[in-house]
Amino acid sequence: MNSALNPLLDFSGLPRFEAILPEHVTPAISTLLDENRAIVKRLEAPMQKVTWENFVEPLDDATEKLGRAWGIVGHLNAVVDTPELRATYNENLPKITEFWTELGQNLALFEKYKALKAGSDYAALNPARKKIIENALRDFRLGGAELPEDRKTRFAEIQEQQAALSTKFSENVLDATNHYALFVENEADLSGLPDDVKQAARAAAEKDGKPGYKFTLHFPSYFPVLQYAEKRELRETIYRANVAKASELGEKPEWDNTQNIGEILKLRDEEAKLLGFRNFAEVSLVPKMAETPEQVISFLEDLAQRARTFAENDLAELRVFAKKELGLDKLEAWDVTYASEKLRQQRYAFSEQEVKQYFPEPKVIEGLFRVIQTLFSVELKPDSAPAWHKDVKFYRIERNGRLVGQFYLDLYARNGKRGGAWMDDARGRRLTKSGVQTPVAYLTCNFTEPAVVDGKARPALFTHDEVITLFHETGHGLHHMLTEVDELGVSGISGVEWDAVELPSRFMENFCWEWDVLQNMTSHVDTGAPLPRELFDKMIAAKNFQSGLQMLRQVEFALFDMHLHFDHDPYGPKTARDILNDVRHRVAVMIPPEFNRFENSFGHIFAGGYAAGYYSYKWAEVLSADAYGAFEEAGAIGGNILSIDTGRKFQREILGAGGARTALESFKAFRGREPTIDALLRHSGMAS
The string of pLDDT tens digits covering residues 620-641 is 999 999 999 999 999 999 889 9
CB distance 112 to 50 below 8 Å: yes
Q: Compute the C-alpha angle 194/197/200, nearest 5°.
A: 150
- In this structure, of 94-98, 125-129, 605-609, 684-688, the range with the lowest mean pLDDT score is 684-688
Length of the chain: 688
Coil/strand/helix, residue 453: strand
Element (H, E) at 534: helix 533-542
Which of 411, 407, 359, 412 minimizes the C-alpha distance to 382? 407
Residue 662 DSSP one-character state:
-
How do residues 566-601 score in pLDDT, each as one tens digit? 999 999 999 999 999 999 999 999 999 999 999 999
- HSE-CB at 465 with a 13 A cutoff on CA atoms is 13
Mean pLDDT computed over 15-44: 98
How do residues 380-418 score in pLDDT, each as one tens digit? 999 999 999 999 999 999 999 999 999 999 999 999 999
* pLDDT given for residue 147 in this prediction: 96
* pLDDT given for residue 602 in this prediction: 98
Alpha-carbon dihedral of residues 455, 460, 463, 467, nearest 10 degrees? -170
pLDDT band of residue 2 (cuts 50, 70, 90) is: low
Cα torsion angle, 69, 113, 496, 616, sign: positive
* pLDDT given for residue 456 in this prediction: 86
How do residues 280-335 score in pLDDT, each as one tens digit? 999 999 999 999 999 999 999 999 999 999 999 999 999 999 999 999 999 999 99
Which of 272, 285, 385, 317 minimizes the C-alpha distance to 615? 285
pLDDT exceeds cutoff 70 at 688: no
Which of 510, 542, 520 minimizes the C-alpha distance to 628? 510
How do residues 202-254 score in pLDDT, each as one tens digit? 999 999 999 999 999 999 999 999 999 999 999 999 999 999 999 999 999 99
State what percent of residues in the chain have pLDDT above 70: 99
Which is higher by pLDDT, 1 or 249? Answer: 249
What is the third-level CATH fold of 7-146?
Glutathione S-transferase Yfyf (Class Pi); Chain A, domain 2 (1.20.1050)
Mean pLDDT computed over 116-137: 97
Q: Where do the domains of the chain lie?
A: 7-146, 180-254, 257-349+546-614
Amino acid (1-letter code) at residue 327:
G
* pLDDT given for residue 121 in this prediction: 95
How do residues 78-103 score in pLDDT, each as one tens digit? 999 999 999 999 999 999 999 999 99
Residue 254 DSSP one-character state:
G
State what percent of residues in the chain have pLDDT above 90: 98
Gap between the Cα atoms of 608 and 407, Å rounded = 21
Which of 6, 12, 122, 152 minimizes the C-alpha distance to 73? 6
How do residues 331-350 score in pLDDT, each as one tens digit? 999 999 999 999 999 999 99
pLDDT exceeds cutoff 70 at 440: yes
pLDDT exceeds cutoff 80 at 453: no
Other CB atoms within a 10 A radius of the CB of residue 330 amount to: 8
Gap between the Cα atoms of 278 and 281, Å rounded = 9
What pTM did the predictor assign? Answer: 0.94
Mean pLDDT computed over 42-50: 97
Beta bridge partners of 431: 436
CB distance 357 to 461 below 8 Å: yes
Gap between the Cα atoms of 658 and 663, Å rounded = 9
Gap between the Cα atoms of 612 and 615, Å rounded = 8
* pLDDT given for residue 116 in this prediction: 97
Query: For the domain 257-349+546-614, what is the CATH code?
Result: 1.10.1370.10
Gap between the Cα atoms of 84 and 62, Å rounded = 27
| Active centre residues (catalytic) | 473
* pLDDT given for residue 687 in this prediction: 84
